[in-house]
Amino acid sequence: MRQTILRALEQVYGNLVHMIAEFLPRFLVMLIIIVIGLLVAFVLKYILRALLGLTKLDRVSDDAGASRVLRMAHLPPMTELLSRSIFWVTWIGFILVGLSVLGVAGLQEQISRLFQFLPEVFVAILILFLGAVIANFLSRTALLAAVNAGHPSPKILSWSIRFVIWILAISMTLEELGVARRTVISAFSIIFGATMLGLAIAFGLGGQDLARKCLERYLGDTKKKEEKEPQPL
């Protein structure tokens, strides 16, 4: 009996040593891949930073209002943000490749699914970010134009535009992520269509007198405004 136990222990010990002997090289390969990935990520980061610096992306970002959105979120400027993003994307990619080398059952499948999902996540984040920038820019454009034209309710106009663009951006993001696709599309269509129809009915039918007065005021005001302010130059 003692022999059997010893033999069993020897076998387990042998298996363990064998497993470690098999695992260690893969672990070392993983570490090498991660270190190489870190170096590649650094190189790509500096190359991208130099290239984006030549294209004056920060200036374009300032003009588009993206820089302000980034500053409000306590994020670095666009060039730095993209450079750091490429660094982390590259390194995480190498880390995942390194992990897949370990050959752990089940992990490879999860890593594969994550790789497939990552592009959609990036696109979704991009859609949200662009939506925020465009909403910010267009709502501010509308506000300034309405204020300088003497429009009676400039903030309502501005907020309406911001609201519509945000709804559109969120719907597109959820559709990209594949979250309740049909529900989101249907809900967006219903809300947007109902809102536009309601506004058209309220203004054109319910407020036809007001609509007529607004048009008369607008067409008359444009000429009067030019005559009632001093020539600036």
Partner 1 sequence: MAEDVFLSDDLLRQLMSVGEVDLLVGMSSLHAANTVSHALDEIEESFQRNFVRQRVVIVNVGGGDNDEDSARAKGHDNLAEKGVRVPGITSLRTSHRVAANVPGSPSPGIALRTILAAADLLRARACAVVSPAASNLTPDSVANLLRPVYREKFDFVAPLYTRNKYQGLLARNLLYPMSRALFGWGIRELFSEEWAFSGRLAALCLNQDVWHEEAIQARPEAWMAISAMASDFRCCQAFLGEKSQATKGLGRDIVEVLRQTVGTLFWCLETRQSLWLDSGRSQSVPTFGPAHELTSDPTDLDRHRIFEMFRSGVTELEPILSSILDPETHSEIKSIVSLEEGKFRFKSGLWVRTLYDFAASYHHAVINRDHLVQALAPLYRGMTYSFLAEHSDSSPAEMETASETLCGEFELQKPYLMERWKAKVEVKS
Contact flag: residue 143 with partner 1 (CB under 8 A): yes
- Give the residue, chosen from 38, 154, 188, 192, that forms a contact with partner 1 under the rule CB under 8 A: 154
Distance of CA 221 to the CA centre of its chain: 42
State in angstroms the smallest separation of the CB of 226 from partner 1.
5
Contact flag: residue 56 with partner 1 (CB under 8 A): no
Residue 223, token pair as written in the block? 């000429």
Residue 179, token pair as written in the block? 């979250």
Contact flag: residue 87 with partner 1 (CB under 8 A): no
Q: Tokens 């600036």 identify what position? A: 232
Using the contact rule CB under 8 A, the part of the chain among 146-154, 161-169, 184-192, 193-201 near partner 1 is: 146-154
Residue 177, token pair as written in the block? 């992520």
The C-alpha atoms of residue 17 and residue 221 are separated, in whole angstroms, by 90
Contact flag: residue 150 with partner 1 (CB under 8 A): yes
Q: Which residues, 6+ apart, have CB-to-CB distance to 189 below 8 Å?
A: none
**Nearest to 151, CA basis, from 231, 225, 70:** 225
Contact flag: residue 209 with partner 1 (CB under 8 A): no
Residue 203 DSSP class: I
Contact flag: residue 21 with partner 1 (CB under 8 A): no
Pattern 66-85, binding to partner 1, x per CB under 8 A? -xx--xx-x-----------
Contact flag: residue 93 with partner 1 (CB under 8 A): no
Residue 103 DSSP class: -
State in angstroms the smallest separation of the CB of 210 from partner 1.
20
Residue 39, token pair as written in the block? 């170096």
Residue 16, token pair as written in the block? 């363990």
State in angstroms the smallest separation of the CB of 53 from partner 1.
17
- Give the residue, chosen from 3, 21, 148, 182, that forms a contact with partner 1 under the rule CB under 8 A: 148
- Give the residue, chosen from 64, 101, 164, 214, that forms a contact with partner 1 under the rule CB under 8 A: 64
The three-point CA angle 186-187-188 to 5° equals 90
Contacts with partner 1 by CB under 8 A lie at 59, 62-65, 67-68, 71-72, 74, 137, 140-141, 143-145, 147-148, 150, 154-155, 225-233
